[in-house]
Chains A and B, each alone.
Chain A
């Protein structure tokens, strides 16, 4: 087999099942790719020995009936992995080795796959370019000066560069969809509560959700099927039957109503994003879907709302990193307070500190009502906008991001312009809905662009189906030259 790592996950699964390739050879192929791609800085930790062991075990006693038979997978370094260092991209966890496995990764392993390594990400998933990681920025395989998006930038980069056949990320405000869009790959943020948050290093608990990042829609359905499911260890997990997303994938979308929200046409949006959106509408219309103009009137408040709610929760979630029980501890402090101050000053990066400060501020007495409480009220209005819209439509089509991948360093000194990257993705997190970013075209520089399909709560199957039909008719092909190896 020439280069199996070029293939999609579902093709690779077929090849493993039909014994065209062994799990060991597959694993070795990825290890070779990873070793040749150090320049991308996509990995924080590799677990090659473990992967080779597991691959051999699989080949000895193959379980072909599993969803991910003998498939090596790298995952974002935000998922706690038993006996494998889990850093969340932060200095404060640079020595942290969990003795437990996150539910989502455990689900991957019980479905037949095993760990290839841990992927770089923005520190505590706070960032849109993977430049806030303690372990350095990640490079987008699309171009050596480009960011891979964030916070799941290691994941998008590794996937696009064939360093893992599929992966999972987490999405708090767009951290799966934006990097997917920047790398010409598929990314799904599931309904809040569909995938367990247990064992995932928390950023903003009411928004965090794990989801698949893949090359194709079918791969995405397979991965979602593997990781989703009720978990009694997560009180916000939804108790429902498991679905067979890949088996139920259909490309007939005739008669489906697709909403086009006028508020997503922002003034500063580049022309090519608008053109991409038009292209997407046309494809869906040609497939028999009906386009309906809708309004989501509170959209413009989503970003400020998000940048109150998310930092508020983060400021509290990150209080546990105090140097007392695990992780980094500064030895310079003379007493408890100084130990805290030094540990957290040295352990956290600037963006994390910025958000802790914002979050602490908006929760402070005297400011709580004006910021946090108001943001919660607006959040309800944003949710209601979607509820109203979904009375009329099956899905909503928007651009994923307001631009293609930008240059490394371009926005690092301008946090607000960095935050604006999430403008189309954060409303979905605030409303707890599922949304899919799918590659739809390229800009004039040839950089990939994505479109976003938003669904009703728990309507993952429907947006996957629309994406499936779209993918077949879009003609997008990710042309990545392996310039790094």
Chain B
């Protein structure tokens, strides 16, 4: 694979600008109950059906930390190669809103549970490291519903108190493509770890995007704007593109960029000012006196570290070494835990390289077509391996294999059965093939003569005739060999 050069710049009238992006990703912790209460976290329940007195901030209610959420944060931190802090503190972030029952969000401010870490991205121009600033635990707020009634706003507190991990990157990202790769990598790591399902439609993963621009070659960062709460990669990319262009235009017109919080309007495809720095909330953070500082024993961290599954970066290296895949193949096949599991199951039972080619080709195309995850693939890994093996052993040709594949998708049958019942087995018996070839030679004497006289292009014609007569089942390799031999004779 030839290495491309990084080339994402905004071209203004006068200068070329580099885009600097930092992300604050909010990832919902995968846990049965909320961060400080026993309420369920299940998605899609009727409004206000998963709300305890703690979540709705009744008088005298007190938060108690959910140990599993803490472990999930530690696991995620370890997955991000980050420093786990043995001492962290929960703070109150104070502001008023109808869907924030306590009047404050319990978060971590000065002392987060996870410190600096890093994430590796494989870009077409090489591998790139993105720094992680921190990861902290915090409560989600409820949801205000403005469109149920013309004059009232309704509040659903099911989400109130659910644990979120806020993962803050360093301003290391430079293009919408890198943002795409970064989010996918984060999601992949968390799915491997089982700490966040990464489901963006359900809001389990959303991000605040910080964007600034600077002239190419400048060392100093420009003034940044924060685009709040963007909930799909596509919208993030669109928001960045719009925002970067807006900032460049301001600069080129000699105007100043105000540090502010903006919203991305997905209908108009533009960002809009939400509040300026002057209007920024004073959150009056202070340590939550209802909760003791969170002290983690080193042993707990070590034990969690030992129990971590193999993560994508490690797995990729192993796939390259163990299965002889190239970097591109390995990257694709480790991108999701389920895909890598499927591949490994197939590779164990069949040709490793051929399995990769067929998975990334026909299988992915089919899944994509049907909009299915690999976990719901109509073809089991075992059947898929049998198919790959049938190709490898020469039992069927690649062309026939595509037909078998189609039937497998429809019926879910195993390929052996399909091949046998439909008589699709490749003709690999030399004697049978010789019979067919002799027949063709005798029918086409003129062409044989022309071939012998030097018109070698005609070889393709003979192959075609063999295939036609054998119903496509003739083993191509063997056909070539025998045909060459007999034509000479």
Binding site for B on A (CB under 8 A): 80, 86, 88, 93, 96, 98, 100, 102, 197-202, 204-206, 232-236, 312-313, 315-316, 318-320, 322, 324-326, 336, 340, 360, 363-365, 368, 372
Is B290 a contact partner of A235 (Cβ separation < 8 A)? yes
C-alpha gap A202/B57 in the complex (Å): 11
A-chain residues with CB within 8 Å of residue B62 when the two chains form the complex: 197-198, 233-235
Interface of B is mostly: loop
Contact of B286 with A205 in the complex, beta carbons under 8 Å = no
In the bound complex, do residue A96 and residue B286 qualify as a contact, i.e. CB atoms below 8 Å apart?
Answer: no
Q: Is B120 an interface residue (CB 8 A)?
A: no
Q: In the complex, what residues of A have CB within 8 A of residue B153's CB? A: 336
Q: How far is the CA of A93 from the CA of B60 in the complex (A)?
A: 12
Contacts of A336 in B (CB 8 A): 98, 153
Contact check, A201 vs B59: say whether CB atoms are below 8 A apart: yes
A322:B103 contact, CB within 8 angstroms: yes
Give CA–CA (A322, B97) in the complex, Å.
Answer: 9
**Residues in B whose Cβ lies below 8 Å from that of A80:** 59-60
CB-defined interface of B101-121 with A at 8 Å, one 1/0 digit per residue?
A: 111100000000000000000
Among A316, A318, A325, contact of B92 (Cβ-Cβ < 8 Å):
A316
Chain A CB within 8 A of B328 CB: no
Q: Is the CB of A316 within 8 A of B104?
A: yes
**Number of A-B residue pairs at CB separation under 8 A:** 94
Interface of A is mostly: loop
B60 touches A313 (CB 8 A): no
A200→B58 CA distance, assembly (Å): 10
- CB atoms of B59 and A86 under 8 A apart: yes
> A236 to B96, alpha carbons, bound, how many Å?
26
B residues within 8 A CB of A322? Answer: 96, 98, 103
B282 located at the interface, meaning its Cβ lies under 8 Å from any Cβ of chain A in the complex: yes
Query: Is B407 engaged at the interface, CB distance under 8 Å to the other chain?
Result: no
Given contacts A364-B284, A365-B284, contact A319 B104 (CB under 8 A): yes
Question: Which among B58, B63, B284 is the interface contact of A316 at CB below 8 angstroms?
Answer: B284
The residues of A that contact B288 with a CB separation of less than 8 Å are 205
Interface residues of chain B, those whose CB is within 8 Å of chain A, are 53, 56-65, 92, 94, 96, 98, 101-104, 153, 155, 282, 284-286, 288-292
| Interchain CB contact under 8 A, B59 and A312 | no
Residues of B within 8 A of A205 (CB): 288-290
CA distance A204 to B291 in the complex (A): 13
In the complex the two chains form, what is the Cα distance from A98 to B56 in whole Å? 13
| B94 engages A340 (CB within 8 Å) | no
Question: Nearest Cβ in chain A — how far from B178, in angstroms?
Answer: 33
Report chain A residues within 8 Å CB of B289.
Answer: 204-206, 236, 313
Pick the contact of B286: A198, A199, A202, A312 (CB < 8 A): A312
Cβ contact of B64, chosen from A93, A232, A312, cutoff 8 A: A232
Residue of B nearest to A202 (CB): B60
Given contacts A80-B59, A363-B94, A363-B286, contact A100 B53 (CB under 8 A): yes
Q: Are B94 and A368 in contact (CB under 8 A)?
A: no
Are B101 and A325 touching (Cβ within 8 A)?
A: yes
Query: Closest CB of chain A to B138's CB: distance in Å?
Result: 16
Q: Is A324 a contact of B155 with CB atoms below 8 Å?
A: yes
A372 to chain B, nearest CB (A): 6
A325 vs B58: C-alpha distance in the bound complex, in angstroms? 8
Closest CB of chain B to A348's CB: distance in Å? 13
- Let me know if A360 and B284 touch, CB within 8 A: yes
Q: What are 17 A-B contacts with C-beta separation under 8 Å? A: A93-B59, A98-B58, A98-B59, A204-B289, A205-B289, A232-B64, A235-B65, A235-B292, A316-B94, A320-B57, A320-B102, A325-B57, A336-B98, A336-B153, A340-B96, A363-B94, A363-B286
